[in-house]
Amino acid sequence: MGDLLSLDFMRQALIAAVLVGLAAPLVGAFLVQRRMSLIGDGIGHVALAGVAVGILTGSMPVLTALVAAVAAAVGVELIRAAGRTSGDIALAVMFYGGIALGVVLMSKSTASSGNLTGYLFGAILTTTSSDIVVFAGLAVVVVGVTWVLRHRFFAVANDEEYARAVGLPVMAYNIALSVLTAVTVVVSMRVVGLLLITALMIVPNATAQLVSRSFRSSLVWASLIGVLSAVGGVVGSFYAETPSGGTIVLLAIATFLVVSVVSGLVTRARRAAHERAERHDHEHGPQCGHQAIPHDGHIDYLHDGHRHAAHKDHYDEHDEHPHERPHDDHAQPEEVSR
């Protein structure tokens, strides 16, 4: 790892990877809640037209792409709010219109096709110092605003009608989230590419949902997984001599698959530990004559060598744990829970 950090371009690449890995999943979490996971693809294709304008005019493609992406994001939300067409149709029009305009404009440019390919699929090793400055500034804005407004974004994404009822400016927050998405797409285009950015927004969130118990913890997990995937992908692409964007996404998907398998095994093991007891007429209680054992805030009753725990209309059966001391037969569950 030391030899990588001694290279200027690798240090810049790793900084960019951390910025993107942190910002993309954070914004993507709310896109998943809104069921608009693919908006990143649509905005990415409009950003392609902005890149083409930048290359054609000799200006900074990052800035022209940012203008195009933000305009597209606001346009989609205005179309959705007007109710004249669905969000899916608006995305489709933006998707194909953006890529068509980008192709037409690039055909008029004297630049090589390799320049465009770098924006489509990522070319993080060619990231310049000026790119890092722009990316860092944009990433700080994205992470800061998203984290501060996370509660309001969550409320609007889950139930727009309820959000309106409590006085939240729903349209303003929807536009704000779309603009943050557009900025994230532009920040990420040199790292994973415009065609793959949605994967880094969504896959870490899918993985985080398997290991987290709250939305807030899922945001933290998603960003952590995003950073590890981005940094690991950059390092892996350097040694394997593969495209950085594809390597990052494949690593994120591999992480999702591994966590899915492990999570499934853990869930199955937990279910096996809580077998349903055979139905019997005996009802357990303080005066039932069976030993009462406190366990995780409730009472288990020792019956036929097994422990029975009341669960709705039946009893779950547990194996006896010798290290837990039996409770007084006449103990009240309320006293134990306290």
pLDDT digits (tens, 9 = 90+) for 124-146: 766 777 777 877 888 888 889 98
**Rounded average pLDDT over 7-17:** 79
Q: Concatenated DSSP letters for 34-49? A: TT-TTHHHHHHHHHHH
pTM of the predicted protein model? 0.71
For the residues 315-319, what does the mean pLDDT come to? 57
Residue 254: predicted pLDDT: 95
At residue 250, the pLDDT reads: 93
Residue 333: the pLDDT is 41
Q: Supply the pLDDT for residue 329.
A: 43
Question: Which tops the pLDDT comparison, 115 or 81?
Answer: 81
Considering the segment(s) 2-198 as one domain, its CATH architecture is Orthogonal Bundle (1.10)
Q: What is the pLDDT of residue 330?
A: 42
Q: H helices of the chain, where?
A: 2-5, 8-33, 39-57, 61-82, 87-107, 113-121, 129-148, 150-158, 160-165, 170-188, 197-211, 215-240, 244-272, 333-337
Question: Worst-scoring range by mean pLDDT, 27-36, 59-68, 251-260, 320-329?
Answer: 320-329
Amino acid letter, residue 148 = V
Residues 54-72, mean pLDDT to the nearest whole number:
86
> Which residues are CB-neighbours of 64 under 8 A, at least 6 positions away?
50, 51, 53, 54, 57
Domain borders along the chain are 2-198, 286-337
Full strand arrangement of the beta sheet holding 298-303:
275-276, 314-319, 306-311, 298-303, 292-295
